[in-house]
Amino acid sequence: MARKSGSHAEITGPRVRAAALRLFARQGYAAVSMRSLAAEVGVQAGALYAYTPDKQSLLFDLLKAHMDELLAAWAEAPKGADPLARLEAFTRFHIRFNLERADAVFISYMELRNLEPANFRAIEALRGSYEAELEAILQAGQDEGVFAVPDTKLATLALIAMLTGVTTWYREGGRLSRSDVGQIYWDMVRKAVGA
Amino acid sequence: MARKSGSHAEITGPRVRAAALRLFARQGYAAVSMRSLAAEVGVQAGALYAYTPDKQSLLFDLLKAHMDELLAAWAEAPKGADPLARLEAFTRFHIRFNLERADAVFISYMELRNLEPANFRAIEALRGSYEAELEAILQAGQDEGVFAVPDTKLATLALIAMLTGVTTWYREGGRLSRSDVGQIYWDMVRKAVGA
DNA sequence: GTCTATATGACGATAGAC
DNA sequence: GTCTATCGTCATATAGAC
């Protein structure tokens, strides 16, 4: 069979990451072999090692990049002045961002246990930073008397679980648009915090 | 079932299922080998095949048993008369039941993609039955005018995601008792549905 | 029912050709 | 950068002894 040759680093690198994201989300990290990943990209298995030192690094890099992008996107998002406006901004931001990256979101909470300890700690720290953003909003609203949240830590975890859950059932072209979903969830979030 | 000299079926069978539940939850179905499962039980790998025809059946049986027990437990739970009382009963039941079976709950959400298609459909049908229980409560409350839930289907999914999320962070002996958690979440659920 | 031993194949990762 | 080929290990599952 004829050999292929030539350099394709500029296109193959992103293709490896995109294929890994898709396959890890669909089948799980442990169930995806380097051979099947290579087949998805259209190269032989050995060629993947020009782009990652090993399989574990590939998983970690995907999760790290996702969390970095999440934090950066929230840092740049318009947020409003008062706690109520900030909570609405966070709600709509979280749903919109996560729906745009369903595969990465799925992996970020399904494959944590497949990270080596040091990698796990790094991702957990980034997740904690993101949760702290929501908790600060809830705490500010509580301090100002506009929210009624008896336990801001629990409320943070409860709301993020509720909002992230959208990615498990939302399907493009279904009954509701993303904006419809954002509106309905914002209604529930606002009521849940007593605003 | 006749006992054989030297047999331990009565204790080994449950031990296999318990070990599989624990290991699948901690490491993931694909990452657990029959060898490591056997080691956890204290037998050789070949002996496991006296209790399951294959690894896939082991996973399916665990998930099926969990869903059956969930539905049976809810069917027998005290529920109250009006929608508000029923919603409170559901909230506290769901948290309590899931915290008692954190491993099974974890697997039920994480390993669905590792089920063969027919097995997947069976588990999804059971999950749908459980969700329908909550949706019926929300619909009844909406019809009677005691809830303000614009979309009962979305509210069902949102509330279950929120409540199930407890299993991802709750640790025995932490700051809050199970009953504390139930109270705090019920407060949020009640507000979220506008009651 | 559990053991030892094994059939059969896939796994992650590397070496060297081009 | 990608190929072919391969190393050493591990996987699921089965066979036959006791």
The pLDDT of residue B191 is 98
* Cβ proximity of B116 and B56 under 8 Å: yes
Pair (A17, A71) in one structural domain: no
Pairwise CB contact (< 8 Å): B184 & A110: no
Pair (A67, A6) in one structural domain: no
A33 touches strand D (CB under 7 A): no
- Among B37, B52, B67, the domain-final residue is B52
Q: How far lies A185's CA from each of A178, B79, B101, in Å?
A: 11, 27, 28
Pair (B38, B81) in one structural domain: no
Q: Which nucleotides of C are covered by protein (CB under 7 A)?
A: 1-5, 10-16, 18
The pLDDT of residue A58 is 98
The pLDDT of residue A1 is 40
The pLDDT of residue B50 is 96
Q: Which of B26, B165, B191 is closest, CB to CB, to A192?
A: B191
* Cβ proximity of B154 and A183 under 8 Å: no
* Cβ proximity of A184 and B184 under 8 Å: no
Alpha carbon distance B117, B161 (integer Å): 24
Pair (A28, A88) in one structural domain: no
pLDDT tens string A56-114: 999 999 999 999 999 999 999 999 999 999 999 999 999 999 999 999 999 999 999 99
Pair (B18, B83) in one structural domain: no
Supply B110's token pair.
């994480």
Over residues A155-168, the mean pLDDT reads 98
Pairwise CB contact (< 8 Å): A191 & B187: no
**CATH number for the domain including B34?**
1.10.10.60
Pair (A69, A105) in one structural domain: yes
Pair (A59, A111) in one structural domain: yes
Classify A20 as helix, strand or coil. Answer: helix
Closest-CA residue of chain A to B27: A113
**CATH number for the domain including B92?**
1.10.357.10
Pair (B59, B34) in one structural domain: no
The pLDDT of residue B139 is 98
- Among A52, A78, A94, the domain-final residue is A52
Domain, as residue range, for A18: 1-52
pLDDT tens string A117-157: 999 999 999 999 999 999 999 999 999 999 999 999 999 99
Pairwise CB contact (< 8 Å): B158 & A194: no
Pair (B131, B57) in one structural domain: yes
Is a pLDDT exceeding 50 seen at residue A28?
yes
d(CA A5, C1' D1) / Å: 8
Residues in chain B predicted with pLDDT less than 70, given as ranges, are 1-7, 9
d(CA A61, C1' C12) / Å: 18
The pLDDT of residue B66 is 98
Pair (B62, B26) in one structural domain: no
d(CA B113, C1' D14) / Å: 27
Pair (B91, B129) in one structural domain: yes
How many distinct structural domains can be found in chain A?
2
The pLDDT of residue B1 is 44
Pair (A48, A125) in one structural domain: no
Closest residue by Cα to residue B51 from B93, B88, B104, B8: B8
